[in-house]
Chain A
Amino acid sequence: MIEVSDLRKEFILSRQQRKELNTKDTKAVAVDGINFKCQPGRVFSLLGPNGAGKTTTLRMLSTIFKPTSGTINIAGIDAIADPQEARRKIGFLTGTTGLYARLTPDEVIKYFADLYEVSKSDFEERKDRLYTLLDMHDFKGKRIGKLSTGMKQKVSICRTMIHDPEVVVFDEPTSGLDVITAENIIKLIRDCKNDGKTVIFSSHIMSEVDLLCDDMAIIHKGKMLFDGTMDEFKGQMQAENLTAEFIRIVNASSQSKEAQL
């Protein structure tokens, strides 16, 4: 379970950043008071165009960033008061995550299992299961730098799941991947859902969202524009398809903001 309420994140702008953004504001609001809830056994999708605040939100959920205000509850733990404990419950995977090229998959998986303090028996059992599931046995001893993108993605998945997290956070997990490699991620998300885990993933690809998610939220310029189930979204659609509806909602929000100004 993930529960987020009144979540806000401001970044202090340096002089250089103010110059680059052509603004006199000393702060930039990346996330502006959002609320949502992700249930176990369901897939929650956080949708938004580039720069909407998706990654910042997911980084706050995974405790990399500290929120300016608001609360985050991860599997019953206050992630702001006890980030270390919350991290034990989270598996985090992004499309841009790199791996240690000079290590082997075996070494990387062992390293992360140690960081999560996974017991030896659990580690052996999970490693074997994940290696078989992902067909990793053949390349487990090769240096990661010499593996293909698909193989690397499998190592990333295995690394994310080795501590059997209750909550899995995916930040644009298929970005930059070919269809075959992306399929591994889609399968992983489905498996997590079937195992009763709480899954949240960010994306701007509507087809992927339609394929996987049960609940969704649309975020734009840090504000929440929609929060509900996929069925509710489809039920109130005014455009002819999901992508067109997404664009319509985002554009309507931008126009109303411009009108206010």
Chain B
Amino acid sequence: MHPAPPPFIRIENLTLGYDRHPAVHHLSGDIPAGALVAVIGPNGAGKSTLLKGLAGELRPIGGRIVMPGLPPGALAYLPQRGEIDHSFPVSVFDVVAMGLWREVGAFGGLSRTQRQRVRDALAAVGMSGFEARPIGSLSGGQLQRARFARLMLQDAPLILLDEPFAAIDSRTVDDLVQLILGWHREGRTVLTVVHDLEQVRRHFPTCLLLSREPVAFGPTAQVLTPDMLARARRLSEAFDDDAPECHIELPPTAVSPTDEHAHHHNHASHRH
């Protein structure tokens, strides 16, 4: 047996939140390189917040995230609601080509090969022939396909997708899932927020169930049990404006996926 590879992402006692209210509360765990993780949980469970934290858009209010093997800028993040200005006069080709930023930077021109890669990426998402169309003329599903094409060109070892299938028809979802599985085969680490549990069972080997508190993290079959899901629902309690300060001090050692359950119990007994 080889020794286990070092974790690609190490989450140490991480708390993320807004106005001191935690949205992700004391999460610890290691995500190995090449993992394909579905992040699931009820609405308001902190799934998007976790991805924001991993993408560096939100400063932790406790604990930390360590990604030792990841060069800066080598992370591709697809937020749920992008800030895309649909009326801006740019073509689909230009938008997808933005994914090449790490290669061409602010000034570089696109080589013939790079242009071909943009067209290939569009073809891979089933959007051949849309190159010259203005971005504002795309439907919701087409736009999501174009965003995936841009993501492909970013060629990032770590990919974070926040509800990529929201309001997307089933055919497009199937295509996009195939792309994600392709990235997984290429050895990229992918974290995706998903709501369709069938989808998760079928395609995602690993699962992180959040409900503000971490509920379970591990092989999908062990996470998606009626027990765990019921616990997740119970935990999604209301936002309490006058919540007292949290004084849990966990040792900042990462908890392995199998210990996660125990950690939760431990934590619950400490709770206010």
Binding between chains A and B: no
Residues of A near any B CB (own CB < 8 A): none
Residues of B near any A CB (own CB < 8 A): none
